[in-house]
Chain A
Amino acid sequence: MKRLTYLFTLLSVICLAACSLDEEPKASVTKDQIFSSEAGLKTYVYSFYEKILPSGSDLNQIEVELTDFGAINNLPDFQVKNSYSEVNSDGWTWTNLRSINYFIVNCTNPGVSESVRNNYIGIARFFRAYFYYGMVRKFGDVPWIDKPFDVDDPALYAARDSRETVMEHVYEDLQFACNNITMTTDATGSMVTKWAAYALASRVCLFEGTYRKYHNLNLSTSANTWLQRVVDMSKYLMDNSGKKLYTAAGTAKSYRALFTSDVPVTDEVLMAVCSSADLGVLHHANWKWTSPTYGNRFSFTRTFINTYLQTDGTPYTSRKDWQTEGLYNECQNRDARLAQTIRTPGYTRDGVAAAPDFLGYVRTGYQPIKLCLDGTKYDNAALNTNALPLFRYAEILLNYAEAKAELGTFTNDDWVKTVGAIRARSGITGGLTSKPTVIDTYFQKKYFPSITDPSILEIRRERAIELCLEGFRFDDIRRWKCGYLLNMSWDGMYVPKLNVPMDLDHNGTYDVLFYDSDANLAAAKAKLDWATVSKTCAPILVVGGANQLQQVKEVEAGNPAAGYYLTWDTPNDYKRVFGEKQYLYPIPSLVMVKNPNITQNKGWENSASNDGN
């Protein structure tokens, strides 16, 4: 029995030693650990960049649809008649807000000094403003939430707050961010600084001010209050940030350097989404902007290209033969941004002349290059190393100019500092010293027939040209209430004659041949050393029925001898709609199932589709 006693003693000792079973993790942290040090706050705040800002791959694609100046392959359902309703709406996603609010509510540990906490809360509120700006643009009224909800919080079932309430909170967030973020210079151009907060404030206030003005929203804070906020915020930034327009690379290169430089050009760029070959963080701009299948084959329309001024500051459409100029001629003596936005004669890739690529990309002849790099080695995967700006000084100048013009306080001096300076950077020599007095009727007629103030028209022209592809256009269309622009037909370059090969950039090789029938193509080939020519020259059929998306229209109806313009997708023009209700998106139908207190935006009720009304 002694042995037994011994064994049972052993057994009970082991038993007792093992009865507490709590285990703490070591590779994750608790809430208290994160909020107890500045390092912890910083670690949390880094998550906002990751979650809320667009990636480089998103940002280079931010404007490949819902613009008036690009012909594209695939229309979003939102634009296609009767294809969009609350059933396929999305974006009612609040995860990131919870993440921000969780930070703001918990960042109270007195072990970290108040100014440090306020700096990080400022950054969090910058991101909250950024988040709400997106929600309000999309849905209008949305619930204002400033805490992470518990499961049983009745506020989960609250109705939407008015746009006015929400935007006032957003403005408070922006003010707090401007006043409490301590960083003012960031050599990496990648962080939220005080100036990024001012820039966001300038952008948000301009949107809200002009939106209220053009949509005639009768709210207690007037459009002008918001426009004055734009002026104040922008002015403070212009006066104190030390930022300026980047001109160091000269007229021909400074503009595009902002988008193709690996390191943000921090002279002008306030904040950018950065890439790094060393860190393996790359985006797919080249792939998207050169592949025949991967991207949307965005190609600028001729109508838009026509708005680029001549070097002397006069409209291109004042040229005598502007209507029948081919690609080569129309690119001469133009605003230097044209050659930095699309492939123009003289454009090379890896030292080889690169005409617009009709075979593999472009539909209209105007192939964008603004956001992608010239090396072909970047083309076939996500390999781009260029940083893409989120906020830059030129935008602030344009915001400032527009707000002042809308307020009616725009002066010649303002013109010189803003649009004048921007045009000067791009080599324009005329009209820089005083605000315009003459209306460019082509521009007005094509784009903004109801605007009669020459300054506002020119500021809008400038905004489109300077900021194209950077993600502003659809917002601008919405706030100016000119959704009709999205229905514009997509035209392309001038084609003097069909069935004749064309050398677009005058480099000695044929680039494209537009033909109207197989027989005519065969005849054209017979006249050429086709085996050689075909290596660079794409034959493109431009005549046909409803399936034929690439077509031509006569410059003068009934007179083929005057030549043609390319068109893209005109058989489907009738499908494109932009009705009144489309200034706001419908709230996804499930949202209202989950919370019946949420009501649908006007016009979208009862699963109504985008029928054009």
Chain B
Amino acid sequence: MENKLSDIILSLKIGRVMKITMVFLLMGIVQVSAAPYAEEHHISVAVENGTFYDIISQIEKQSEFMFFYKSEEIDNGQRYTLNMRDKTASEVLNAITRNNHLSYRIVGKHIIITKVLSTTQENNKVISGTVQDAQGVPVAGANVTVKGTTVGTITDAEGNFDLKIPANATTLAVSYIGYLTKDMPIGKQSKFKVVLTEDLQALEEVVVVGYGTQKKVNLTGAVDQVTDKVFNNRSVSNVTQALQGTIPNLNISLDDGKPTRTASYNIRGTTSIGQGGSALVLIDGVEGDPALLNPNDIASVSVLKDAASAAIYGARGSFGVVLITTKDPQKGKVSVNYNGNVSLQKPTTVPDFVTDGLVYAEHFREAYYAWNNYASLPSKINKSQLYSDAWLNNYKQRREQGITDEVETGSDGTYTYYGNTDYYHELYKNQTFAQDHNINISGGSDKSDFYISGRYYGYDGLFRYNTDNYDMMNIRAKGSLQVTNWLRLTNNMEYSDMSYHNPINVGEGGSIWRNIADEGHPSSPIFNPDGSLTMSAAYTVGDFIYGKNGLDTHKKELKNTTGFVAKFLNNKLRINGDFTFRNFDDNSNRRRVPVPYSTKQGVTTWLSQSYNDYQKTFGNTLYTATNLYAEYEDSFAGGHHFKGMVGYNYETSKYETSTVLRNGLLLADSESLNLALGDATTTSADWQKWRIAGSFFRLNYDYKERYLLEINGRYDGSSKFPTDQQWAFFPSVSAGWRVSEEPFWKINKNIISDAKIRGSYGSLGNGNIDPYSYLELLSINTSGYVVNGAKNKYAGTPEVKPKSLTWETATTTDIGGDLGFLNGKLRLSGDYYIRKTTDMYTKGVTLPDVFGATSPKGNYADMTTRGWELSLSYSDKFNLAGKPFNYDIHATLADYKSKIDRYNNSTMSLDDYYEGMTVGEIWGYESNGLFQSEAEIQGYVNTIIPSSANKKVYPGDVKFEDLNGNGKIDYGDNTVTNPGDKKIIGNKEPRYIYSFTLNGDWNNFFVSAFFQGVGKQNWYPSAESGFWGQFNRPYNQLPNWHLNNYWTEDNTGAYLPRYSGYTALSGRELSTPQTRYLQNIAYLRLKNLQFGYTLPHKLTAKAYMQNVRIFVSGENLFCWSPLYKKTKDFDVTNTSGSDPDLTSGTSGDFYSYPVMKSMTLGVSITF
């Protein structure tokens, strides 16, 4: 029992300011009609010269009693000699409490021992009352004391208390962990109703740090933490999506809105331009995939930002650590909680493209004709529709004559199309549906406890045909068992199963969005009169309608952690150990079969006959982790407090994958390799293993919680490095000064309640590299070349490896401060940091080309990242209609900027990093206007940037500025020293990333809004971007905003230039970055808005429910961005490139899964 309790005592002792009674409330006292047990169960005690602990340990062994006490109130020096047989607990307890100022209370099987009330005081008044939270739920275990005395009690399971108080008592103080302490004047009242309000930013807040916890007030490093609040009531498909924007400088950049989409976690900006690297993400202390985690299981997410906090994780923590901690069992009576919600989802924006086939075709002709110097006409609209001027004229005539038939069938059966197709309407459902059901059951006693949860999340898919179903199931079982009074075993098992069907197109590689741009001509309908698909459709949504092609991914994760906590020396020494295994399967199946279509009645043609295959990929990761660490802490006279931790960590990971592809499917629906009967079988496999080991320590010292010091270090080893470089030591130090604790600090606590200055410094190696990076290996690949009748395996030439290497190092200096104002209502916290990433493993010195290989990389580059983050919160309340309205505001702001200090680019070429470069900068031309006349062009300089096939410049074309005045528009040597007319026109890195959250609750109603955004960011639409419409390729979709927005002789002030296709292909007029078309993609997004109501306890209690809450919640409801003044075709955060799963990312920004918005209705019920 003692050891169980000491878990809590541990956290109390860290701070030593917590009230003893908090111990009790954490125990979750169970109110059973226990008197009979205490009376019926008899015990025997025999000690000679024993301590108090010896006696209670005997009692615990013989009974189910559990003891609660505050260890510092027990005089361990006092000795007892007892010999009592077959007595009730009361009899024994009377004997031991009689003479030592202790008193006891039996509540069920719990025995609470407290210091006896002062005998000098007269207890002459009895008061009683109840304690509730803001929702009216009784608070069990709340501490009720008379202010300024030791007189007090705790509330029972119904929140009731009664207490004898001295006659002169004036104020009652009621407190409970996580709530603000409430003072009530006593006056003449004898019945009290106390409502506690949650203390959201309590100073007492405990923050999860590496291998332990730390009181926030004592933190010296840069650590941020959010609780499960950020996940509550939100319909998101995975944890990563929910975390986006919640923590300053935890930068999660999602490529698009696909339900499976996750991202690597970045902390504080550009990490390394060499090995790269992102934050280490640990779930309950071990590696796992956050995207496979049940968001409802999460208790907190803690981010260790500076080197000092992350050093305990060594080389893997070089760019910060994200610690996700799952919920612990709630002891006490079994509670069952169900959370469920259903949501309607749709894209935040659907592109507004011209669907009038005639308008589209006219613009297609113009764009094609204009690029080709008004000399050449198209014969096809890309590949899938024939074009001639005669056809266009017919189209016009039919329109004039009111003929609406979209297909004309010729005498030979050939179809001619006059369509008006809205491809995006055919692609997307108007809205889709998602559901999320989560149940958890938790309970237990101090001997054992458990937490079991299960979740199902189902998303019905956005696509109208061959839709992308997404399902995720999670199960977690977590529990612990007190084996002896010093040893507790814990186990945490998790199983996740995620599956996603991604429809694909075979007609042309790439994603559906790109294919619609290229072949989804509005002038072509989807279906022929006989119901067959048209060729345009077969390339695009027709493939989805046919419904055979897809990529199915299936991920399964089974993870189990078994651990123990052992406590010794009266809990001054604690030893923790755990062992984890994780089996992660990442499998996928892909089927590609040709798509039938028809261009002539009765004649079926098959698109992409070369694809007729089935591919199966098996990926498996087997990971184990072992941790063993011991902590010792002690306090010494005069306010010195030490804590030391030493530990050991060992992890292994083995990754294996094999892929089999075979062609010749027997049926278009075949779902097994066994029905692939073709000759072409391609197999490939990979295998990787790494191991890391580390010994680490942490020393904490504080003097009266005024001066804080922490030293961390880790001796770290990794199999990814060559033998002589495997081990390295990474130390760090951090310190804090709580100025407000100084005796000279005379500032009224009501104005500035708390002030702390922090500083840290640490240096970490970067272990983020691929295994075997330093070995000279010949990879084995499958040739794309048919030799001897087969696609043979061939061996590649090994890369040239460097002869000597050292670790990349990230050194972070961090200065921070935490300030509390207005008695803690307003809190401000900020950090400034400098992270120098040195010896980055980047490209080698330039060698003559005859070297014939990439110059071996080496530790050739340095970079400095400077940044800061601020967070501000304010919480308060006022009375509204006689009831308290509680509200709080939380705002964050972060920024960073990286500069290259050293890099091998002696020519200062602009195609690469260079010394002095700010990461993300965009070089481009200045372009202020469009040429308005032939005369203006003639009087102007020549340009090397083509705006037509034969490089002739026309009125309406972009006029670039000759910045260097050399008489032509050019890029010089394309170097920093001679950039021609180029200059830095912007930066694509996000700046001033901010968020703010507003919460309010009143009379069981609650409302919350979470805004998030970027203050400054530039984006230049890439060559194939959807921004350009037919300026990219004449046959692309035509955005409605382009209409009447391009230069003509009658519209000389237009934003877009002369209507001409192919000008947004690489290296041409529009794809060349320039000021005129540089976009501002700063944005502000209402990420989540929710409104809910907690049913009054009176009502729900009747239905045996403790708490019932209903809510509506909206995700991504509004977004404002300067980009939207130009176009709202795509979401502002979808600018990072095309679907990364199906394309290499370069087939055009915007051509990826849309960001979704949702409206959710949910309920949460606790039994």
Identify which of residues 678-711 in chain B touch chain A, using a CB-to-CB cut-off of 8 Å.
678-680, 685-693, 695
Whether the Cβ atoms of A591 and B848 lie closer than 8 Å is: yes
Interface residue ranges of B261-296 to A (CB < 8 Å): none
Cα separation A101 to B851 with both chains bound (whole Å): 11
- With contacts A14-B628, A18-B650, A31-B778 taken as known, whether A157 is within 8 angstroms of B795 at the C-beta atoms is no
With CB as the reference atom, state the residue of chain B lying closest to A7. Answer: B575
Interface string of A68-92 (1 = CB under 8 A from B): 0000001000000000000000001
Given the contacts A15-B648, A46-B793, A547-B374, A98 and B852 also touching, CB distance less than 8 Å:
yes
Contact B950 A3 (CB under 8 A): no
Do A594 and B847 form a contact, CB below 8 Å, given A95-B853, A281-B791, A382-B610?
A: yes
- Is there contact, CB below 8 Å, between A547 and B375? yes
Q: How far in angstroms is the closest Cβ of chain B from A549? A: 5
Q: How many residues of A contact B (CB 8 A)?
A: 90
**CB contact between B650 and one of A14, A92, A380 (< 8 Å): that residue:** A14
B610 near A21: Cβ-Cβ < 8 Å:
no
B664 interfacial contact with A, CB 8 Å: yes
B390 at the interface (CB under 8 A from A): yes
**Complex Cα–Cα for A11 and B564 (A):** 13
Q: Given A43-B795, A145-B850, A157-B848, A377 and B608 touching (CB < 8 A)?
A: no
**Does the CB pair A43–B679 fall under 8 Å?**
no
What residues of B have a CB within 8 angstroms of the CB of A186 in the complex?
788
Cβ < 8 Å to B, chain A residues 6-65 = 7, 10-11, 14-15, 18-19, 21-23, 25-31, 34, 40, 43-47, 49-50, 53, 55
Q: Which residues of B sit under 8 angstroms from A383, Cβ to Cβ? A: 609-610
Query: When A3-B568, A23-B719, A25-B771 are in contact, do A50 and B848 touch as well, CB less than 8 Å?
Result: no
How close is B246's CB to chain A, nearest CB, in angstroms?
Answer: 37
Kindly state the separation between the CA atoms of A548 and B377 in the bound complex, as whole angstroms: 12
Q: Which residues of A contact B849 (CB under 8 A)?
A: 92-94, 591, 594
C-alpha spacing A479/B663, complex, angstroms:
46
Q: Chain B interface: which of A272-280, A403-411, A431-439?
A: A272-280
Which B residues are in CB contact (< 8 Å) with A15?
Answer: 648, 650, 693, 695
Residue of A whose beta carbon sits closest to that of B628: A11
Contacts of B786 in A (CB 8 A): 190, 274-276, 279, 281
Q: Chain B contacts of A47 at CB under 8 A?
A: 783, 794-797
Assembly CA distance A293 to B723 (angstroms):
56
Q: Does A99 contact B (CB under 8 A)?
A: yes
Stretch at the interface among A148-156, A198-206, A441-449, A556-564: A148-156
How far apart are the CA atoms of A544 and B374 in the complex, in Å?
Answer: 11
Complex Cα–Cα for A94 and B853 (A): 8
Contact A282 B610 (CB under 8 A): yes
Asked if B374 and A151 sit within 8 Å, CB to CB, the answer is no
Which residues of A have CB within 8 Å of B626? 14
A309 lies within 8 A of chain B by Cβ: no
A25 and B688 contact, Cβ closer than 8 Å, known pairs A49-B787, A190-B788, A292-B379: yes
Contact A278–B663 (Cβ < 8 Å) = yes
Q: Is B50 an interface residue (CB 8 A)?
A: no
Say whether A381 faces chain B, with CB atoms less than 8 Å apart. yes
Q: A19-B693, A280-B680 are in contact. Are A359 and B388 (CB under 8 A)?
A: yes
Please report the C-alpha to C-alpha distance between residue A235 and residue B789 in the assembled complex, in whole angstroms. 30
Distance (Å) between the CB of A202 and the closest chain B CB? 22
B792 at the interface (CB under 8 A from A): yes
CB nearest to B658 among chain A residues: A27
B390 touches A27 (CB 8 A): no
CB distance from A344 to the nearest CB of B (A): 22
Interfacial chain B residues near A107, Cβ < 8 Å: none
Asked if B797 and A359 sit within 8 Å, CB to CB, the answer is no
Bound-state Cα–Cα, A151 to B791, Å: 34
Say yes or no for B1044: interface residue by CB 8 A criterion: no
In the complex, are the beta carbons of B778 and A29 less than 8 A apart?
A: yes
**B856 at the binding interface (Cβ < 8 Å):** yes
- Most chain B beta-carbon contacts within 10 A, residue among A23, A45, A534: A23
Q: How far is the CA of A91 from the CA of B635 in the complex (A)?
A: 74
Q: Is the CB of A377 within 8 A of B605?
A: yes
A275 to B792: give the CA distance in the assembly, Å. 13
Assuming A3-B486, A279-B786, is B847 touching A25 (CB within 8 A)? no
Whether B798 and A31, one on each chain, are in contact in the complex, defined by CB atoms closer than 8 angstroms, is yes
Q: Which of B378, B685, B785 has the most CB of A within 10 A?
A: B785
Q: Give A43 to B783 CA distance when docked, in angstroms.
A: 10
- Point out the residue from B382, B577, B695, B772 that lies within 8 Å of A28, measured CB to CB: B772
Whether B717 is near chain A, meaning CB under 8 Å from some CB there, is: yes
Q: How far is the CB of B944 from chain A (nearest CB, A)?
A: 10
Asked if B783 and A594 sit within 8 Å, CB to CB, the answer is: no
- Binary CB contact string for chain B from 375 to 387 against chain A (1 if under 8 A, 0 otherwise): 1101110111000
Contact with A along B771-786 (1 / 0, CB 8 A): 1100111111001111
| Distance between Cα atoms of A476 and B689 in the complex (Å) | 55
Mask of A128-152 contacts with B, CB within 8 angstroms, 1/0: 0000000000000001010011010
B856 to chain A, nearest CB (A): 6
Distance in Å: Cβ of B985 to nearest Cβ of chain A: 24
Interface membership of chain B positions 557-594, coded 1 if the CB is closer than 8 angstroms to chain A and 0 otherwise: 00000000010100001010100000000000000000
CA distance A291 to B390 in the complex (A): 20
Give CA–CA (A45, B796) in the complex, Å. Answer: 10
* Contact status A280-B663, CB under 8 Å: yes
B726 on the interface (CB 8 Å rule)? yes
Q: Is the CB of B772 within 8 A of A25?
A: yes
| Residues of chain A lying within 8 A (CB to CB) of residue B949 | 74
A97 CB–B CB distance under 8 Å: yes
B residues with CB within 8 A of A: 373-376, 378-380, 382-384, 388-390, 410, 486, 507-508, 566, 568, 573, 575, 577, 605, 608-611, 613, 626, 628, 648, 650, 663-664, 678-680, 685-693, 695, 717-719, 723, 726, 771-772, 775-780, 783-798, 800, 803, 844, 846-853, 855-856, 907, 949-950, 952
Closest 4 CB pairs of A and B: A98-B852, A46-B794, A360-B379, A27-B687
A-B contact pairs, 11 of them (CB 8 A): A14-B628, A21-B718, A23-B691, A28-B777, A47-B795, A280-B663, A292-B379, A381-B383, A381-B508, A547-B373, A594-B846
